[in-house]
Every structure is written in structure tokens, then in C-alpha cells.
Chains A and B, each alone.
Chain A
Amino acid sequence: MDSHAAVAHSEAPGHEHPAFLRHHFETVAQQRESASFGMWLFLLTEIMFFGGLFMAYLIFRNWFNPAFVAGSHQLSVPLGTLNTAILITSGFFMALAVHAAEVGRRSALVWYLILTSIFGIAFLGVKYIEYSEKWHDSHVPGIKFSIADFVHPQPDKAGKMRDKPLPVDMAEKTEIYFFLYFAMTGMHAVHMIIGLGLLAWLILRAHRGEFTSGAPNYVAPIENFGLYWHFVDIVWIFLFPLLYLINLHPIS
């Protein structure tokens, strides 16, 4: 961003300015900074939004720790790890996309955005597999839920017992664990789906060359979407250990 050029622009009203500069901003730099500041504030609201759920998690995990441990053991750590890797890769391509927009490479930008979406869709695919397992096992709170697996735990495929049987009143609390699992990962998945919708729109616009039209490039939309996408990544980075990795030690 050439800030000197931008200053010169504001002093000379007749000067050509980029088509994307809105009338109420003085300079391209001011517009880009405002947009990015707005995005950070929006992400702050997102943190507070998820914060309510994290608060509930904190309280209930303290109260019903054995239920949370037993519930956590029903999740698939390999699938969760796979999804973490998929999401980080998607974020990596997003970072490359921002760079491509900054240096003005149109086709690279389009391809990086497409790769970002493919990995995003893959994440949701894995999530679908996990959710259908939960449905199959009757672990969907409020709709299809049974505490049988926690009162009479079954040995896993290797024939080892992972959990001791829980008393009925504690086993019932696994419903809260699974609710939080669905609420938190579900809310996260909703953010992914919204993100994928935005990505499709950005890919179309990037293909038209809107972001790479020459000096200066219109980086703000790509950059701000990047912030959003990384935020969604970071939420998952917290969700994965909190939900999947509670007390993995084998029972003695």
C-alpha cells in the first residue's frame, strides 16, 4: 500500500482513484484499516457468543467430571485429529490466498480459495460421519438419547474396557456433555457453512479479477475473510482438546 500516493490523492480532488474506494473514505488506506478494524470487532462479538457455551462447559465439566470423561471416550480421536489437520491445511491455503491477493496474482488467488473451500468441505464431511455415528449410538440429547453405554460400558474392538460403569444419576449427566458437544461443534459447523458460502462468492469475484486489478489491489475482502476463517480454525483448536481429549488414560 502506497500511503504517499493516497495522501496526494486527498489533496488533489480531480485525481483518478480506484473504483473500490467508497465515497466517504479519504484514502484507500483508511478504507482498508476501517474494514479490518470492523472485522476484528466482529470477531470479538463471536468470541463472546461462543463464550457463553464455554462458560457452561466450564461449570458442568467441574460438576459432572466422570460423565464428561465417559462421554468424551465416545468420540473418535483419530477422526478429530484428522479434522484438525484438515482445518489447519485449509487455513494454510487461506493465508496463501491473502498473499496472492496482495501481490496481485489472480489465478493463484482463485486456486488457493478453491483449495481452502475443498478442505473446508472435507471437514464438514468428516463431521457428518461423526454426527451419524452419534445418531446410531443414541447419543443425541433431547431427540435420541440412551444412557445404556455408560451404565453398562462395552469393551472396545481390542477387547479392552475403557470406562467403569457409571451410577445412573451420573450417567444421565452425559446428556449435558453431548449437548455441549453438539452445541459447540454445531455452532462451529454453522460458521464453517457460512464461511463456505462467502468463499464461493469470493471465488467468483476473484475470478472476475476484482481483487487483483492492479495498483493498489483490493485486498480488504480477502484479508477480512481470512481473519474470519482463521477465527473459525482457532475455535476448533479449543474445541478439539476440550471435547475429545478428556482424560485419555486407560483405567487401572
Chain B
Amino acid sequence: MSTGALHLPDQATARIPKVNYLNKELGIKSWLLTGDHKRIAMLYLVSITFFFFIGGAFASLIRLELLTPQPDLMASDTYNKMFTMHGVIMIFLFLVPSVPATIGNFLIPIMVGAKDLAFPKVNLLSWYLYVFAGIFILASMILGGVDTGWTFTTPLSTHYLNTHVITTGLGIFIAGFSSIFTGLNFIVTIHRMRAPGMTWFRLPLFCWSNYAASILMVLGTPVLAITLVLVILERTIGIGVFDPAKGGDPLLFQHLFWFYSHPAVYIMILPGMGVISEVISTFSRKRVFGYTAVAFSSVAIAVFGFFVWAHHMFIMGISNYSALVFSLLTMLVAVPSAIKIFNWAFTLYKGSITFETPMLYAFGFMGLFTIGGLTGVFLGSMGMDIHLTETYFIVAHFHFVMVGGMLMAFLSGIHFWWPKMTGRMYPEGISKLAALTTFIGFILTFFPQFVVGYNGMPRRYHAYPPEFQVLNVLSTAGASVLGVGYLLPMLYLAWSLKYGKIAGPNPWEATGLEWQIQSPPLTENFVVTPIVDHEAYDYEYMEAHKEQLVG
């Protein structure tokens, strides 16, 4: 029998396997020169967590400043640096690599039944580039920061500011190549490394959504790279391409920048959607409803995602006719997103639902992403956008999608695959509390921002009219709850490394290939290349043949 076959080992007698990817080689060198996708995933996990907490520190300073209407903690210049560094770090060093580079890196080769990603050295290179980019961005922060906003809008960034635009720009440029290499590796691996019997429509939906995100990384990121090169050249030698005084065009910058940065939003959210498909299916003991539709909706989001960028520019002087087209195309993205939400809901319908921590986070994702997505439709319609753009409504909208959506999905995935990654369970009780804390803290932080935004409080100011204070105090209070919600997993997951219950190969009784191998896996993942003879999420078969599968 091949190792791809479903089986349900006895949880009670589970032991940490003597040889696994964590202890096969020891010492710092074996980690820094590793080609093993699982070790690189762990390296990524540590580094993105580090940057997440730095980005989070900036966020808490922002919320603290906004506690009162008048500026009291910092000057306006400093405040500009705070939200810029928060945005730059969270987007380029946390959200973009979050799920793909950690969970994706760990799981995609295993899910397709391969021993590693197609290009292990390129994978390691991508981590080094990430670290290098992080050093550049940290350095520019320490040297005095940058205050353009994460959007680097010209001519502000090229002519009017005397902060560290160049070093930050270079950092993002390098981080971009790290992301390109991850995407390239995923696409080739999913195309060329699938085990016998692993057809495209037997792939877990996590692979489909990472595949779609990879297309965006590969096609979008180079455009950001060239745009940043142009900004740097404009700043250093004054080439004039974005300078109206020389005949250049600042709108060209906007087009080029958003051509990447809008699809980048889908780079951030798509892998998270993959996590949710896996988690919902496992804890409803049901195949994902409408598998094919969910798979293709990922690809559809990726494709539509490339044709909506100008909705960031409705008030920036683009023609009304093109704005109309972009407005309609933007609403089109809601269709595949809704297909996903509805299909997850139908997966839950008549499923045997259990409420483990990953499932709680997944419910959080579904609710918050729906709100974030629907307010996206408001913003996509031109008239509404002109009222709401550059207000806190925007801030609330993208935090609902990015933090409410992606971060929930990331935490869901980390909890779900933690037993596979480390061989040990996280503590269930406190982690449920953390999931709940995160959800409550999140709603409290960002829901008031919709209201203040709708009432006209602009984003990116450190002072505001006193009538908005109550809602801002609520938001700041929520942020402290949210902070606790993020610190808790950090602590108990670290604790579980040593004291967690031993997980065994398949603690969730799930069907994916990753659950049919030992936890933590061997360096080469599979002893024998698996032969796949089941559809994805074949819980019907598993439930019907439970007795034969045990052992």
C-alpha cells in the first residue's frame, strides 16, 4: 500500500518520531544553508513574526496618539513616519509573505506529494532576500524613517520630502524579488512535481489559491520593481519622468504603482482563502461544496485583480469614462469572492461541525472578510468613493480584509498545521480564548473607524475634531485587546514546543496527504512517492470506512 492512502493512527500511543526534519541535522549552519522547504518555512515564520511585532508597535503608537483629538504624543512629521513605517512593514514584510512563505512553503510540496519545491536553492535565496530587505527597511527606520505613506506618491516622494525614501524603496525592491521567487517556485512545483494520481482537480484548494496568488506575484511584482527604480532615479538625478515641470506625469506613477499594489491585495488574501477551505472542510467532516467553483474562483480573482487598479485613482484626475469601466470591473471581483463565501457556508450546511481553534478563526475570517469585501463594493462605486476615499472608512475597509481576513486566516492555518510543523498540539483552552479575544478586539478597533470615516474623519492626520473622540477611544481600547489577542498565541505556541501534547500524524482525522505522514515530517517528506487514489476531502469515504483505516 502506498503512503498516500488514508489512515487514522492511534492518537494515544503517538510518539515524536526519532528522525524528522527538525533533528536530522543540528546546528545553526544546517539551518542557514538548508534546502529543505520545511526549514525555510520555519525561518520565514520566525522572521515574519519579528516584523509583525515591529509593525504592531507602530500601530499601537498610532492608536495611542489618536486617543485624544489634539496632538500630544508626537509632532505631525513623526506621526507621518509612524503610519508609513507601519504600512511598509505590515504590507511588504508581513502580509505579502505571511501565508505563502510560511504555511505554503511548508505544505505545498507535501500536498502535491513531492519531496521538496522545484528549486530549493531559489527558495533559500528568497528567504535571504527577505532578510536583506528587512535590514534595509529597519536601517532606514533607525536612520530617521520615511514619511511618504506606503504608497510613495509622487511628486511628494520624489521632490518634497527629505526622508529615507531611497533605502526604503530599495528594501521593497529586494523584498519584491523574494516574493517573485516564492511564486515562481510554487507555480513550477504545482505544475511539474505532482505525485502520480494527483490530478489538478484532486489538489487541495490551498494549492489552487496559492497558485493563483503566485501568478499575481510573478506578473505584478516586477512592475513595482521598475516603478521603485524610477522613483529612486527621479529622486537622485532628476530624470523628470514623474515631474510635471519637465513634462513627466505623476499619474503614470499611480498607474504603475497600483498595477502591482492592487493585485498585491489579492496576493495577501488568496492564500488565506486557501487556509479557510482546508479548515472548514476538515472541521465539518465534508468535502468543500462546489470544489471546482472554489478552485476557479481563485483564478478568477487573480485574473480580474489585474484590471481594477484605477479604482484607487478616482479622485486623481483620470477620465470619467475609464473610471466608469474600472468601477464596473471592481464590482466584478465581488462575484468570485462571494462564490467562495457561499460555498464555505454550504460546506458547513449539514456538516458535523466541531469548534476547534482553527475553526473559530475561520468563522472570524468569514464574517470579517464579508464585511470587508462588501464595503469594498461601496468603495468600488465611483460616487461613494468620492465621498469616502482618504477617510477612515478606507482604513477600516482594508483592515477588515487584511487583518480581519488575512491575519485570521494566518492564525487559523498556524493553529491547524502547528501539530504537523512541530509534532505537538497547542493548548486548546487558552487558544480558544485567544481566538475570541482577537475577534472582539478586532471588531472594537475597526468598526468605529467605519463610522468616523463615513462622518468625514480623514486618514493620515494626528489630530481630529473633538466630536470623533468617543469612537476613537473605543478604537484604541479595541487595539489593546487585539494586542493581547496576538501576544497570547506567541506565548502558548512557544510553550507548546516543549510541553504541548504529542500530536501524532493525524490529530484532526483529516484527509490531506500532509496528514498521512509522520509529524514532524521526514526531511524528504515521503518514504515512497505516494500514489493518490482519492478525491480531495474524501470525508465520506473516511467516515464510511473508519474501522479499516485505523492502525
Q: Chain B residues with Cβ under 8 A from A55's Cβ?
A: 252, 255-256
Q: Which 5 A-B pairs have the closest CB atoms?
A: A142-B237, A52-B226, A49-B222, A24-B115, A24-B116
> Do residues A45 and B240 form an inter-chain contact, with CB atoms below 8 A?
no
B252–A37 contact, CB under 8 A?
Answer: no
Q: How far is the CA of A56 from the CA of B241 in the complex (A)?
A: 8
Partner of B225, one of A26, A49, A63, A141: A49
Any B CB within 8 A of the CB of A201: no
Kindly list 15 other residue pairs between chains A and B, CB separation below 8 angstroms, not including A24-B524, A45-B184, A59-B252. Answer: A24-B118, A30-B192, A33-B192, A34-B188, A37-B187, A38-B119, A38-B184, A48-B219, A49-B226, A55-B255, A56-B230, A60-B241, A63-B247, A64-B247, A175-B240
Chain B residues near A214: list those with CB within 8 A: none
Q: Mark B175-206, 1 if CB is under 8 A from A, else 0.
A: 00000100011011001110000000000000
Evaluate contact between A176 and B222: CB separation under 8 angstroms: no
Contact yes or no, A51 B223, CB < 8 A: yes
Q: B422 an interface residue at 8 Å Cβ cutoff?
A: no
On whether the beta carbons of A142 and B222 are closer than 8 Å, the reply is no
Chain A residues with CB under 8 Å of chain B are 10, 22-26, 30, 33-34, 37-38, 41-42, 44-46, 48-53, 55-56, 59-60, 63-64, 141-143, 172-173, 175-176, 179-180, 183
Which B residues are in CB contact (< 8 Å) with A26? 529
B218 touches A41 (CB 8 A): yes
Task: Give the total of B residues in contact with A, Cβ under 8 Å.
Answer: 42
For residue B33, CB closer than 8 A to chain A, the reply is: no
- Smallest Cβ-Cβ distance to B115: which chain A residue: A24
Is the CB–CB distance between B180 and A45 below 8 Å?
Answer: yes
Can you list 28 A-B pairs, Cβ within 8 angstroms, ordered by A? A10-B529, A22-B120, A24-B118, A34-B118, A37-B188, A38-B118, A38-B119, A41-B188, A45-B222, A48-B222, A49-B223, A50-B226, A52-B230, A55-B252, A56-B230, A56-B252, A59-B249, A59-B252, A141-B240, A142-B233, A142-B239, A172-B247, A175-B239, A175-B247, A176-B241, A176-B246, A183-B230, A183-B239
- For window 66-120 of chain B, which residues contact chain A by CB distance below 8 Å? 109, 114-120
Q: Bound complex: CA of A22 vs CA of B255, how far in Å?
A: 42
Tell me whether A142 and B240 are in contact in the complex, defined as CB-CB below 8 angstroms, given that A34-B192, A53-B226 are known contacts.
yes
**Number of residue pairs A-B, CB distance < 8 angstroms:** 111
A34→B193 contact, CB < 8 A: yes
A52 to chain B, nearest CB (A): 4
Q: A34-B193, A38-B118, A44-B219 are in contact. Are A141 and B239 (CB under 8 A)?
A: yes
Cα distance, A38 to B348, chains bound together (Å): 38
The contact string, 1 if C-beta is below 8 Å from chain A, for chain B 392-436, is: 000000000000000000000000000000000000000000000
Which chain B residues (223-265) contact chain A, with CB distance < 8 Å? 223, 225-227, 230, 233, 237-241, 246-249, 252, 255-256
Q: Is B506 an interface residue (CB 8 A)?
A: no
User: A183 near B233 (CB under 8 angstroms)?
Assistant: yes
| Distance, CA A34 to CA B536, complexed state (A) | 25
A41 to B211, CA, bound (A): 13
Indicate if the CB atoms of A37 and B191 lie closer than 8 Å: yes
Q: For residue B217, which residue of chain A has the nearest CB?
A: A45
CB neighbours (8 Å) of A34 from chain B are 118-119, 188, 192-193
Shortest B222–chain A CB gap in Å is 4
* B219: A residues at CB distance < 8 A: 44-45, 48
With a cutoff of 8 Å between Cβ atoms, the chain A residues found around residue B247 in the complex are: 60, 63-64, 172-173, 175-176
- Given A24-B115, A34-B193, A60-B247 in contact, is the A176-B226 Cβ separation under 8 Å? no
* CB of B507 closer than 8 Å to a CB of A: no
- Provide the residues of chain B in CB contact with A52, threshold 8 Å: 222-223, 226-227, 230, 256
Q: Given the known A-B contacts A23-B115, A179-B241, are A38 and B222 also in contact in the complex, defined by CB atoms under 8 Å? A: no
Near A by CB (< 8 A), chain B positions 103-149 give 109, 114-120, 122
- Asked whether any CB of chain A lies closer than 8 Å to the CB of B221, the reply is yes
Which of B118, B119, B230, B237 has the most CB atoms of chain A within a 10 A radius of its CB? B118
A127 to B238, CA, bound (A): 23
| Closest-CB distance, B525 to chain A (whole angstroms) | 9
A136 to B492, CA, bound (A): 67
